[in-house]
Amino acid sequence: MLQNDFYLDPHRLSPEDTAKLDAFYEHCMKHRYFNIGYPESYDFDYSDQKRFLDFHLNNCGAWDEFCNYQLQSFPFEKEVIEYFAGLFKIPFNKCWGYVTNGGTEGNMWGIYIGREKFPEGTLFYSRESHYSVAKIAKILRLPAHAVLADEKGEMVYSDLIKQIKNSRVKHPIILANIGTTVKGAIDNIATIQQKMTEAGFNRQDYYIHCDEALSGMVLPFVDDPQPHTFADGADSLSVSGHKNIGAPMPCGIALAKKENVDSIKVEIDYIACSDKTMSGSRNGHTVLYIWEFIKKHRPDYLRARVANQLALVKYTVDKFRQAGIPAWTQKNSVTVVFPKPSEEVWQKHNMATAGGVTHFVATCHQRNTDMADAMIADVVADFKRRHIRF
Ligand SMILES: Cc1ncc(COP(=O)(O)O)c(C=O)c1O
């Protein structure tokens, strides 16, 4: 017989633990719009989704196959992937993708597919790539070379070709940044392909994965985007769901050509489903967030939202320059780069720093210039106080 008496024993948090949680809730409420230093936007409202937190939604396996696990959001995931296939210009039936746990997982998946296509391949990525790329190469035991980047963060294509030639690799796997973490730089995949052709490579002999964590939800909504789609030559790509889309939990979208994804497919009898993803259990809630985002925001809204971000970038660069601070940005970038102020200032505004520079990100929840103005005033006053001129 089962003994159910123990269920009667109420298991509640102690008053101290409740107070601790309450204090953390207050902290979150107070700082919910803090973010101008990292690209996570906080203009989302997924209140429709709160009721699903009563369920464990688990999308283990592939959304396009039968799964024995009832509480999955596969039909929504299908619609999400269909939308992103359209956005990144590949016929839906020619690609496969899924909702990831974030940019790193999507990059690992894309690079893994590249490695399965070219088991003797070598990874080439620029020194401005996100730190997780070197980690991924290590995990996959993939020989890897870091290529030079120029002072604005874009890959030095001559160095890419030089390193590929020096390593005598037949099948390079190239990671192109579509928005670097610190400087928002974009590696031009059209230029990469042109240089590879000049170097004697046929297109089918190398692989391009685009890390679009940052700009993947910016470029589709500008008038003159840099090359970043499958039509432009990507073999796979990864976009962040919690950056320019915005979500309460880390998430992302990864897409690759179907013919290449099929090579990593494995049948799993435990869930009566096949698997083509990096994870085992996958978050079924984040699928619903991204689904809601794409369903309720028409393209013209998303274009206006990105236009606002770019206007805030221009405003911030102009204001810095008027004050004599050499701030800069790049085409279609939501990032403003400027010399690193003192620690108290970058910490006060929660801004990231790297190699002598700091950046400001025009996150979508900034509906006016107040946060930018406060940050600029502090940075300008800081350089003035320390008698630093540029
Ligand atoms: C360009 C770029 N790629 C990849 C990542 C990793 O994404 P995640 O933190 O979602 O794993 C980031 C995160 O900041 C990033 O900026």
Fold that domain 50-296 belongs to in CATH: Aspartate Aminotransferase; domain 2 (3.40.640)
First-to-final CA distance of the chain: 80
Mean pLDDT value of segment 351-362: 96
Domain ranges in the chain are 29-42+299-385, 50-296
Q: Does the pLDDT at position 381 exceed 80?
A: yes
187 lines ligand 1 (CB under 6 A): no
214 lines ligand 1 (CB under 6 A): yes
Residue 359, exposed/middle/buried by CB under 10 A (0-12, 13-18, 19+)? Answer: buried
Could you report the per-residue pLDDT of 361-375, keeping only the tens digit for each? 999 999 999 999 999
Q: What is the pLDDT of residue 120?
A: 96
Q: Does the pLDDT at position 270 exceed 90?
A: no
Q: Which residues pair with 252 in a beta bridge?
A: 100, 240
* Helix%, strand%, coil% for the chain, nearest 5: 40, 15, 40
Fold that domain 29-42+299-385 belongs to in CATH: Aspartate Aminotransferase, domain 1 (3.90.1150)
Q: Does the pLDDT at position 134 exceed 90?
A: yes
Q: Does the pLDDT at position 193 exceed 90?
A: yes
Instruction: Take atom 14 of ligand 1 and give the residue whose Cα is closest.
Output: 181
In the chain, what is the greatest distance between 2 CA atoms, to the nearest angstrom? 80
Instruction: Take atom 16 of ligand 1 and give the residue whose Cα is closest.
Output: 181
Q: Concatenate the DSSP letters of all residues of 321-341 into one string.
A: HHTT---B--TT-SEEEEE--
Q: Does the pLDDT at position 77 exceed 90?
A: yes
Q: What is the pLDDT of residue 67?
A: 83
Residue 137 vs residues 121, 134, 236, 281, 374: alpha-carbon distances, Å: 11, 5, 16, 23, 40
Active site residues: 333
Instruction: Take atom 8 of ligand 1 and give the residue whose Cα is closest.
Output: 103
